[in-house]
Structure 1
Amino acid sequence: MSTIVSFKNVQKTYDGETLVVKNLNLDIKEGEFLTMLGPSGSGKTTCLMMLAGFETATHGEILLQGRPINRIPPERRNIGMVFQSYALFPHKSVAENLAFPLKVRKVGKAEIEKKVQGALRMVNMEKFANRMPAQLSGGQQQRVAVARALVFEPALVLMDEPLGALDKQLREQMQYEIKQIHAQSGLTVVYVTHDQSEAMTMSDRIAVFNNGIIQQLATPSRLYEQPENAFVARFIGESNELKGTIADVSSERCTVKLDGGHTIKASTGAVLRASSNACVSLRPERIAIGEHAKTCDNVFSGGVKDLIYYGDHLRLVMQICGRDDFIVKLPNDGAARTLRVGDSVHVGWMAEACRALQ
């Protein structure tokens, strides 16, 4: 797969002192769905705006299809853009909104009609061509915004928190629809969100941002299963964190002495040395309770502090290893339903289920 976008040593500062983006080097592959994910202020949206041409890089170079674009205005970059606010022209019909970018490009009338119909068909909005934006629901307006970004067949489509204004059910439906459009069209999509589940559901690869730096760039499964540092483990999904010191370490395993005195066997998720500080990350669903826990590499006694019913699973808040906010997720089966607040039970997990990180 060839590279369509390259950020080369890109930096951005607004005040000349604080770097919002720090030495960014990133290659985006043609045809992939790449998500820039991170908390507010992490630099992800600034990167998207620099790629779109609405912000200028302070240092470094951005390449599109091998061509430097730092000095090329947004309208000449051949990039489609979808915003959270839809940004539709309120005085134009759906069809006229889609026709606008084609008219700007001097496309002929017959070709415009053909392309508009094709784009509306792609988002299942053919019947709404003559409606005004105010006559559409939020989800319908977002479909039109996506169609308008695709109608002129851009080299690249950028999406900035496009589903943030929708309710949960509609947001999940639109996630599926955008992913289907991507699969059918073969377009390259760069997507910005702070919603980790949205990123995990839709992306081929995810760039996790924090403090203007990509902390890890990987597939959703690799980010979840093999986070490279404590921030990624904390930001992607949910994890219990146990802090301690490395007692000994081999190529794939280590022993961590926790601050409270307990000892844990863990897999190594970073370059670690004996006596160095470490944070052990453990997913709540990888933990066994009761008899199943006794055969694990790490076995402790824990008290059930709280028990929350979620339908398909139970969420336990436990006191264990000196922590009173330790989370365990259990399938809602017969054994789990016998647990009560105040119970003392064995809690265990395998060494491979937890990672020692820095």
Structure 2
Amino acid sequence: MNRTDPFVEFSGVQKTYDGETLVVKNLNLEIARGEFLTLLGPSGSGKTTSLMMLAGFEAPTHGTITLDGRPLNRVPPEKRDIGMVFQNYALFPHMTVAENVAFPLRVRDVAGPAIFERVKRALDMVHLTSFTARRPGQLSGGQQQRVALARALVFEPKLVLMDEPLGALDKQLREHMQMEIRHIHERLGVTVVYVTHDQSEALTMSDRVAVFNEGAIQQVAPPDEIYERPSNSFVAQFIGENNRMTGTVEQREGGQCRVRLDDGTAILATAVEQATVGARSTLSIRPERVRIDPAPGAVANLFDATVEELIFHGDHLRVRVAFGGVSDFVVKVHNSDDRPSLAVGAPVRIGWRPDDCRALDAVG
């Protein structure tokens, strides 16, 4: 197999349970060897079904899935050489930590001495060497998840699949485990396909993110591109916080366009392919890209606004303003010594560059 060929490939994959409604619609996706790819989307978007088809727990209704050049459609789950980590850990309660981790090796008839060494190495990797004799019921949720991770990696699979693995953990532990999984991935170079509905988790951990909605991929790109350059309104709204304004494209030149909001306000924006003259468009701009009292000439879009609400978030101040026909426009102001003085009801000038505002497909 050519090294440039995809390690995992979905080709024209569809899935329906009732013969009518497609849960996954014509999925075409390539995953590189050693990549950390996250399938991200709301509940019912098709991401988990896609993962289960790759694992072998669901069969595609149509299309082909290949792993390292080998078609998987007729290969049972236990023959796919894939490690799996679930949200509910799926540990055997009657087995010790060491026995749980050793289980994949025993079913593969690995010799006893080799089992001991590989279990020790896997538990070292997740910092649980001293917990070998404990049972799952004696462990915290985070420790159980580490055992599940060690078990998925101990037989050195070609591919590791993770289905909402951190969903049951509290925020602080979840963030710690995100970094730990990321570091293990970097150290081992194993290919990981990770499912989550948590957009912050996806941005933190992934080489690329595939955003799903209604059974179809909306965009596949590195995290910074997904966040900064969403390809449509769904991606812009689902990933991070986002200001939306609706209007009509009245002029387009190259990569820029002018959109007239319904109250008459004109805004210059970056045009995506849907932004044709006369078409309705949803403008998207991140709150941190908006400037308060920008220097003269610094921005092409400049408006008088009124401060409606101030909320302190520690590292930043969340400022809700009204301007033109928009009443719930949010600005994030970094908490620093030169932060502007603001008060509810006070007038303020806000502005942003056309490069920071995207004219996307109309919604609603």
- Normalising by structure 2, what TM-score? 0.96
Distance in 2, Cα, partners of 1:147 & 1:199:
21
Letter in 1 for 2:250: A
The equivalent residue for 1:136 is 139
8 Å contact 2:294–2:351 — kept in the other structure?
no
Distance in 1, Cα, partners of 2:220 & 2:233:
14
Q: 2:122 aligns with which of 119, 123, 128?
A: 119
- Pick closer, same or farther for the CA change 1:320–1:77 going to 2, 3 Å: same
Letter in 1 for 2:270: S
Distance in 2, Cα, partners of 1:44 & 1:51:
11
Segments of 5+ residues of structure 1 without an aligned counterpart are: none
Letter in 2 for 1:72: V
The equivalent residue for 2:108 is 105
Distance in 2, Cα, partners of 1:126 & 1:145:
14
Q: Deviations over 1:266-290 (max 9, x none)?
A: 1113342111111110010011112
Matched, 1:236 2:259: no
SS at match of 2:295: helix
Superposed, 1:1-358 pairs within 5 Å as: 1-292=4-295, 295-336=298-339, 338-358=341-361
8 Å contact 1:256–1:266 — kept in the other structure?
yes
Distance in 1, Cα, partners of 2:310 & 2:44:
35
SS at match of 2:101: helix
- Pick closer, same or farther for the CA change 1:324–1:294 going to 2, 3 Å: farther
Distance in 2, Cα, partners of 1:338 & 1:330:
11
Q: Could you tell which deviates more after superposition, 284-293 or 236-245?
A: 284-293
| 1:2, distance to aligned residue in structure 2 (A) | 4.1
Letter in 1 for 2:69: G
| 1:333, distance to aligned residue in structure 2 (A) | 2.8
Q: Alignment RMSD, CA only? A: 1.1
Q: Deviations over 1:221-249 (max 9, x none)?
A: 11111111111111111110111111111
Greater than 6 Å deviation, 4+ residue runs: none
Q: Deviations over 1:183-223 (max 9, x none)?
A: 00010000000000000000000000001110000000111
Distance in 2, Cα, partners of 1:336 & 1:225:
24
Distance in 2, Cα, partners of 1:100 & 1:332:
51
Distance in 2, Cα, partners of 1:201 & 1:62:
27
SS at match of 2:165: coil
| 1:303, distance to aligned residue in structure 2 (A) | 0.8
Percent identical pairs in the alignment equals: 59
Distance in 2, Cα, partners of 1:144 & 1:93:
10
Segments of 5+ residues of structure 2 without an aligned counterpart are: none
Distance in 2, Cα, partners of 1:51 & 1:220:
23
Distance in 1, Cα, partners of 2:112 & 2:294:
72
Distance in 2, Cα, partners of 1:324 & 1:86:
45
Distance in 2, Cα, partners of 1:137 & 1:271:
50
Residue-pair matches, total: 358
Letter in 1 for 2:188: S
Letter in 1 for 2:301: N
SS at match of 1:179: helix
| 1:352, distance to aligned residue in structure 2 (A) | 0.8
- Pick closer, same or farther for the CA change 1:335–1:293 going to 2, 3 Å: farther
| 1:125, distance to aligned residue in structure 2 (A) | 0.8
Distance in 2, Cα, partners of 1:185 & 1:122:
10
